[in-house]
Amino acid sequence: MSVPADLLAAAKAVRERAFVPYSHFPVAAVLRTASGRIHAGVNVENVAYPQSQCAEASAIGVMVAAGETRIAEVLVLAGGERLIAPCGGCRQRLAEFAAPEVPVHLCHPDGRHLRTDMAELLPHAFGPGHLSAGTPSAAAPDAAARIRTRLPQAAPAVAIVLGSGLGGLVDELEQPEAFDYADLPGFPTSGVPGHAGRLVLGRLSDVPVMCFQGRVHLYEGRPAAAILPMIRLVHELGCRRLVLTNAAGSLRPDVPEGAVSLIADHINLQGSSPLVGGPNFVGLTSVYDPSLRSVLGKAAARLGMELPEGVYLAVLGPQFETPAEIRAFRTLGADLVGMSTVAEAIAARHLGIRVAGLSAVTNLAAGMTPAELSHNHTLAAAKVAGDKLRRLLAAALPDLARA
């Protein structure tokens, strides 16, 4: 592949401005961003050598100052006997803003050149996914770009988060395209059984959907902000309807194991919010959208399925609740209890995404039954309630997409 003429011309123009009074070795780095704009930088030396700055770092600074964060192509121009690649530190800097497949052109003033890519330069880059919270502000555009590379026309109408034991819905999708969370920049992965850790796009009931097959939980040691990459990706792909599902315990004898309940409101006892340190004062008066709830209720009626509404109370976990806690939660007005969902609902409302919530009831809560609760029981019971939930979603999706 030939060297991009515009990038090479930009590199030649700035290389002569490099400040290299000690090494006399000028280097230019040029970045093309996702928008097509070009940003260039040169190396800047200091007599205290550790304070010097590489050309790649300079170019990244220019790019970020211009309000861009996604690199689409890199060119490095330097002299010497051999072609010069970015140093280890700059490879890591570039990896923060460039996907593994981004091309990198190593060029010499005499015309020699080599094309490589970020994956070859830095096969084991340390990135946002290694951190507990990720980098939510940059994660969604990165993940969206990765998805659009394979699915340029991706336009999901409804997003669905599938809770513990409920991931089987993706088996019913037509034209499925799956992405492992580990391959989506910024996405932390879940190590909880029953959560496959995949995003699957496809069609269900002829509606384009995106299904998150698993989620992360605060009890894994993650901050509430760990859910932001998922919700921001929904927004970045233009989807404005989100259905959150979970496996939950019931605090009502009339909503037994195997039932599906529609979430009308929630109580957050997880001790945190995904908006901590960021935007504040998001209104949650109608966090679970009345119109979407109405659509789900009507679909259940058509199926002859009972769909009681309830208030979902979220705890941190991972331990199950005590009978005394369940009595207290009932006094607070809770009908369901679980360890997820509310952080995602809060983040979605902040972004203007409309939310519906469904709980697959896996057990009566502690103290309401002599059985000892366990996660294995949760997964087994979720499959029973999950069949109902899948039928409900399939029936409701056409109307949800229009609501």
* Given the residues 18, 339, 356, 360, the one annotated as active site: 339
The yes-or-no answer on residue 164 being catalytic is yes
Q: Which pair of structure tokens corresponds to residue 323?
A: 């009978």
Assess whether the previous peptide bond of 26 is cis (omega < 30° from 0): no
Please confirm, yes or no, whether 377 is among the known catalytic residues.
no
Active-site residue among 247, 299, 385, 396? 247
Single out the catalytic residue among 68, 96, 220, 309: 220
- 105 catalytic? Reply is no
- Cα–Cα distance measured from residue 387 to residue 385, given in angstroms and rounded to the nearest whole number: 5
Single out the catalytic residue among 39, 217, 235, 350: 217
- Whether 375 is catalytic is yes
The answer to whether the beta carbons of residues 222 and 319 sit under 8 Å apart is no
Which of these is catalytic: 119, 375, 394, 401? 375
Q: How far is CA 34 from the centre of its chain?
A: 20
Two structure tokens written together for 229: 């990459």
> Is 325 a residue of the active site?
no
Q: What is the 3-state secondary structure (H, E, C) of 57-108?
A: HHHHHHHHHCCCCCEEEEEEEECCCCCCCCCHHHHHHHHCCECCCCEEEEEC
- Cβ neighbours of 303 (radius 10 Å): 15
Q: Which amino acid is at 123?
A: P
Amino acid at 48: A
Contacts of 24 (CB under 8 A, 6+ apart): none
Q: Say whether 195 is catalytic.
A: yes
Which one from 190, 246, 261, 340 is the annotated catalytic residue? 340
Q: Is 43 a known active-site residue? A: no
Residue from 39, 195, 235, 350 carrying the catalytic annotation: 195
Q: Does residue 340 carry a catalytic annotation?
A: yes
Spot the catalytic one: 58, 190, 261, 363: 363
**Active-site residues: which are they?**
164, 195, 217, 219-220, 247, 339-340, 363, 375
